[in-house]
A = this chain, B = another copy of it.
Amino acid sequence: MTEIGGATRVYALLGDPIAQVRAPGLLNPVLARRGTDAVLVPVHAPPADLTQVVRGLQRVANLDGMLVTVPHKAAALDLADRASDRARLAGSANALRREPDGTWTADTFDGDGFVRGLAGAGHHPRGRRACVVGAGGAGSAIAVALLDAGVAHLHLSDTDPDRLETLRRRLSAAYPGRVGATARPRLADADLAVNATPLGLRPDDPPPFAVAELPAHAVVADIIMTPAETLLLAQARARGLRAHPGEPMLAHQIDAYLDFFGL
C-alpha cells in the first residue's frame, strides 16, 4: 500500500467495535494502485464519545472525509451540515465529506451497495416482498434502496418501537401502500429476508431471526462481513435457502466512495 508521508490525505472510518471492519483493507489497496496519496484509518469511537471525536476530526485540516459504520450511522447524519435525500429519508449516513468551504455533507451508500450486490448475485428485488430486520442505520438505508429498486412490499422490524415507528412513518409517506412494520419479523410470505442488525458480529450472538419461518424459495441476506459465514447464513444454507453474505454490499460501495470523495 501507499507509504504514509506528511502530505498524505487522511480519511477516518468510525465504528464501535472496530477490529472487524473491512473497508481499510479494501479501499487502501485501490488508492495505492491509483497512486492516490491518501489513506483510510480505523477510528474506534465509543457511542458516548462520538460527537467529541467527530468534532475533533472535522477540525483536522488534512482529513477530507469519514466513513461511518455500526452503531454511528444515525448519529452521523446529525453531525453533518447537509445530507442527500436518500440519507435524510433513511435517517442514516455512512459517509461524510468536507466541502471546500469547510462544511460537511452526508450521504449513504449502504442501500445502493446492498441492492447492487444482491442483483449482481442474481437476486434482483424488483417485484419481490422483502423483510428487513433492524431499523438502524444500515437497515434504514437498505429499506430505502429496496423501495427505490421496486420491491412490491417492504416489511420492517426492530426491537425498538420508537425507532421502528419513526422509520415506518417516514417511508410510508414517501412510498405509500408499500411499507409495513411490526416488532417481530414477518417472514412467512417474504421472498427476501435481510439481517440489518449487528447480531452475528460476536461469536455468541443468537440468530437475528428464525430461518425456519421463511418460505423454501426465500433468499436470506446478511450485512455482517466478519465473520463471512454467520450463524444466520449457515442456518439458511442448512435449510436449503439461498444465502447472500455481507461482502458484496461493501465491495459495490468502493467506487461510490471514491466518487463521493473525488478521489
User: When chains A and B are docked, how far (Å) is the Cα of A59 from the Cα of B22?
Assistant: 22
Chain B residues contacting A49 (CB-CB under 8 Å) are 59-60
- Known contacts A59-B49, A62-B18; is-contact A39 B6 (Cβ 8 Å): no
User: When chains A and B are docked, how far (Å) is the Cα of A100 from the Cα of B8?
Assistant: 30
Question: When the two chains form their complex, are residues A44 and B56 in contact, meaning their CB atoms are under 8 A apart?
Answer: no
The digit string for A44-73, where 1 denotes a CB below 8 A from any CB of B, is 111001001111110111110000000000
A85 to chain B: closest CB distance in Å?
29
Chain B residues contacting A156 (CB-CB under 8 Å) are none
Q: How many copies does the complex hold?
A: 2
User: When chains A and B are docked, how far (Å) is the Cα of A40 from the Cα of B61?
Assistant: 17
One of B3, B6, B10 near A21 (C-beta < 8 A)? B6
Chain B residues contacting A28 (CB-CB under 8 Å) are 3-4
Question: When the two chains form their complex, are residues A59 and B45 in contact, meaning their CB atoms are under 8 A apart?
Answer: yes
Question: When the two chains form their complex, are residues A4 and B18 in contact, meaning their CB atoms are under 8 A apart?
Answer: no
Confirm or deny: A120 has a beta carbon within 8 angstroms of a beta carbon on chain B.
no
User: When chains A and B are docked, how far (Å) is the Cα of A160 from the Cα of B77?
Assistant: 45
Chain B residues contacting A7 (CB-CB under 8 Å) are 18-19, 42
Question: When the two chains form their complex, are residues B19 and A45 in contact, meaning their CB atoms are under 8 A apart?
Answer: no
Confirm or deny: A25 has a beta carbon within 8 angstroms of a beta carbon on chain B.
yes
Confirm or deny: A234 has a beta carbon within 8 angstroms of a beta carbon on chain B.
no
Question: When the two chains form their complex, are residues B62 and A52 in contact, meaning their CB atoms are under 8 A apart?
Answer: no
User: When chains A and B are docked, how far (Å) is the Cα of A61 from the Cα of B19?
Assistant: 11
Question: When the two chains form their complex, are residues A52 and B41 in contact, meaning their CB atoms are under 8 A apart?
Answer: no
Confirm or deny: A1 has a beta carbon within 8 angstroms of a beta carbon on chain B.
yes
User: When chains A and B are docked, how far (Å) is the Cα of A252 from the Cα of B3?
Assistant: 21
Question: When the two chains form their complex, are residues A19 and B43 in contact, meaning their CB atoms are under 8 A apart?
Answer: no
